[in-house]
């Protein structure tokens, strides 16, 4: 903050203090005059009066300051500020009465003076603030009625819409005039909100835009489901107007909707789901006042797990990660959001057993979330030996050490690609599941839980950031196959359910996250092009063919598996977990993989994972050949 900024802030605060100090003096003078029935300060009864004024006003002004009254902004004055004012005035009047009593035993001071003074101060100080706010809003409305203003419609006449229209009027320099509200609630139809008419539902948006000559639409329904947002967005597209939205309820700062929070509609808004309701008591019981370790802490899932764990007051979080830049970014974020969090930064590789053991031995974590893994399908397809070292032997290291040092809970982050895998990454994650299940059989003191889920929105290397970049570069947007589908879930939602699974697990379960409906990638590409205000004529979509090891669709259950419900509606447990191999067998089969060719490694994985359908190098066709028959 510059010196000039500080001067502006303190100047405004000084004006408010001067206003209140003057009313403290004037209020006391009028209180005495009303109590005595004449102009007391011009009468002969004014003995010690100026001393009384000095005592009273000093005490009252100090109490007003301590009440936090001068940290508020007059044009945003609210009931909270009024309560602060009443507390300050009440404390000031009470303490000033005590001060005068100690000064002269209230000689010549009627008791009614304090009641009258309290009433005058509450009305005068509160009225001043209210009057200022009304004046600012009136001037804002006058300014926002200009002909050059951007005519806007707000979809949603609820609390968020009401806050938004107020904020728009308080900031006339934005150049926006709200001309109508749209809301599907029939009880609100033909009514007004801040003198703006509620003219119909979403189906009437096109007509409203035409009738009111609107060029912009604000979506002010933070609690809207993805299907509701999608419906509104389609209506906005049909009208050809610019549109923006408020973020979800959980992301609105301080619970207040404001102009600054308006943003472009994101793909996540259309693919996301209702906010997950957690059994926070069970998660808090697992995390609170405990040391928690997260491997792969700098990754998309690992870093979000760290942030969510931090909100449950752990004793300490161990950030275990091999990438120093990822750790640096995580630490900066944690420092800003959780300044009082106790944490340890540990650079290390899960493949280095000694490194992992030192951390577990030194810090004695009670819960380990194992998120460290290689996950990029095409890269691991040509480097399966690296996937084995990290995804299998890295998991084996952490899981065995968790058992050795009697960690209470161990949660493996798995993937839907481990089900009937067609790629090396998925096969190695399936073997990692087997490793944890086998160690569980001989580790009664440690509960091992496995959590499978699909794609997460916005993670590094995922399709949405890729599409955004391709659209910004002018296209084309590349899709592997016109029929390819994927499950999607937001990173925060996935991590919430991982925490929930870790809290309710009894040991040995494979938890499946309810991923909702699968989404066609071609439809996602079209939505993203449209959200950028473009058409498929502007940005071409090209089909490149399925990549090595890639499926048309993903699954969460193995052959023969069924699910059992849990206490959480979005979590299921796999009833039968497929074939198993002992840890010794796994080690024996894969021990020479580091020097093997990719093809021979895949054949070894096939011995461990019976339903693994692998691609050999000679079987991989070019993308053009694969897709030729589809066009």
Which positions are catalytic? 417
Q: State the first-to-last Cα distance of the chain, in angstroms, to the nearest integer.
A: 59
Q: Are 401 and 357 in contact (CB under 8 A)?
A: yes
Helix, strand or coil for residue 156? coil
How many angstroms separate the CA atoms of 356 and 373, rounded?
15
How many angstroms separate the CA atoms of 78 and 110, rounded?
34
How many angstroms separate the CA atoms of 306 and 299, rounded?
10
How many angstroms separate the CA atoms of 198 and 189, rounded?
6
How many angstroms separate the CA atoms of 356 and 398, rounded?
7
Residues in the chain: 631
How many angstroms separate the CA atoms of 405 and 397, rounded?
12
For 455, phi and psi rounded to 5 degrees?
Answer: -65, 145
Q: What is the DSSP letter of 483?
A: T
How many angstroms separate the CA atoms of 248 and 104, rounded?
60
Q: Are 448 and 577 in contact (CB under 8 A)?
A: no
Q: Which residues pair with 216 in a beta bridge?
A: 152, 242
Q: What angle (nearest 5°) sits at the alpha carbon of residue 170, between those of residues 169 and 174?
A: 70
Query: For residue 311, what are the contacts with CB-CB under 8 A and spacing of at least 6?
Result: 338
Question: Is 190 buried (19+), middle (13-18) or exposed (0-12) by CB count in 10 A?
Answer: exposed
Query: For residue 319, what are the contacts with CB-CB under 8 A and spacing of at least 6?
Result: 294, 297, 298, 306, 327, 330, 331, 343, 344, 345, 346
Please state the three-class secondary structure of 314-349 as a single string. Answer: CCEEEEEECCHHHHHHHHHHHHHHCCCCCEEEEECC
Question: Is 17 buried (19+), middle (13-18) or exposed (0-12) by CB count in 10 A?
Answer: middle
């Amino acid at each position: 903050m510059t010196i000039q900024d500080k001067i502006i802030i303190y100047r405004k605060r000084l004006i408010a203090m001067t206003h209140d100090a003057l009313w403290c003096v004037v209020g006391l003078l009028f209180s005495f005059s009303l109590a005595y029935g004449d102009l007391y300060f011009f009468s002969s009864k004014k003995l010690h009066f100026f001393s009384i004024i000095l005592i009273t006003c000093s005490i009252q002004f100090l109490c007003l300051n301590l009440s936090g009254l001068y940290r508020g902004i007059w044009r945003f004055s609210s009931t909270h500020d009024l309560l602060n004012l009443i507390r300050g005035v009440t404390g000031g009047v009470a303490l000033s009465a005590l001060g005068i009593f100690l000064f002269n035993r209230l000689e010549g001071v009627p008791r009614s003076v304090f009641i009258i003074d309290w009433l005058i101060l509450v009305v005068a100080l509160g009225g001043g603030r209210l009057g200022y706010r009304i004046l600012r809003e009136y001037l804002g409305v006058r300014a926002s009625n200009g002909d050059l203003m951007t005519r806007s419609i707000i979809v949603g006449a609820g609390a968020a819409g009401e806050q938004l229209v107020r904020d728009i009027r308080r900031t006339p320099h934005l150049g926006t005039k709200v001309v109508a509200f749209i809301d599907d609630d029939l009880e609100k139809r033909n009514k007004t909100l801040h003198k703006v008419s509620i003219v119909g539902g979403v189906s009437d948006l096109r007509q409203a835009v035409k009738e009111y000559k609107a060029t912009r639409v604000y979506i002010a329904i933070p609690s809207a489901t993805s299907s509701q947002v999608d419906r509104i967005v389609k209506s906005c597209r049909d009208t050809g107007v610019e549109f923006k939205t408020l973020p979800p309820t959980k992301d609105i700062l301080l619970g207040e909707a404001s102009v600054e929070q308006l943003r472009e509609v994101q793909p996540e808004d259309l693919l996301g789901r209702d906010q997950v309701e957690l059994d926070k008591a069970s998660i808090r019981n697992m995390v609170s006042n405990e040391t928690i370790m997260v491997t792969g802490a700098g990754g998309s899932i690992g870093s979000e797990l760290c942030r969510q764990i931090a909100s449950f007051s752990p004793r300490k979080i161990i950030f275990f990660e091999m990438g120093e830049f990822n750790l640096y970014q995580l630490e900066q974020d944690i420092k800003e959001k959780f300044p009082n969090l106790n944490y340890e930064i540990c650079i290390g590789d899960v493949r280095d057993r000694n490194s992992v053991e030192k951390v577990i031995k030194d810090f004695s974590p009670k819960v380990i979330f194992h998120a460290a893994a290689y996950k990029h399908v095409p890269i691991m397809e040509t480097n399966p030996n690296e996937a084995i070292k990290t995804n299998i032997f890295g998991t084996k290291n952490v899981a065995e050490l968790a058992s050795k040092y009697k960690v209470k809970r161990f949660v493996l982050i798995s993937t839907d690609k481990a089900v009937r895998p067609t790629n090396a990454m998925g096969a190695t994650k399936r073997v990692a599941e087997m490793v944890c299940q086998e160690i569980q059989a001989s580790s009664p003191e440690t509960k091992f839980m496995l959590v499978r889920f699909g794609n997460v929105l916005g993670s590094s290397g995922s399709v949405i950031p890729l599409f955004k970049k391709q659209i910004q570069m002018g296209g084309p947007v590349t899709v592997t196959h016109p029929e390819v589908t994927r499950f999607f879930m937001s990173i925060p939602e996935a991590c919430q359910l991982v925490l929930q699974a870790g809290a309710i697990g009894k040991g040995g379960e494979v938890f499946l996250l309810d991923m909702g409906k699968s989404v066609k990638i071609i439809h996602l590409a079209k939505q993203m092009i449209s959200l950028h205000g473009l058409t498929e004529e502007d940005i071409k979509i090209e089909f490149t063919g399925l990549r090595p090891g890639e499926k048309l669709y993903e699954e969460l259950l193995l052959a023969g598996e069924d699910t059992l419900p849990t206490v959480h509606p979005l979590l299921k447990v796999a009833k039968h977990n497929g074939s198993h191999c002992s840890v010794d067998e796994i080690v024996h089969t894969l021990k020479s993989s580091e020097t093997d060719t990719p093809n021979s490694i895949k054949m070894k994985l096939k011995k461990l994972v019976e339903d693994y359908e692998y691609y050999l190098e000679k079987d991989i066709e070019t993308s053009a050949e694969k897709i030729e028959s589809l066009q």
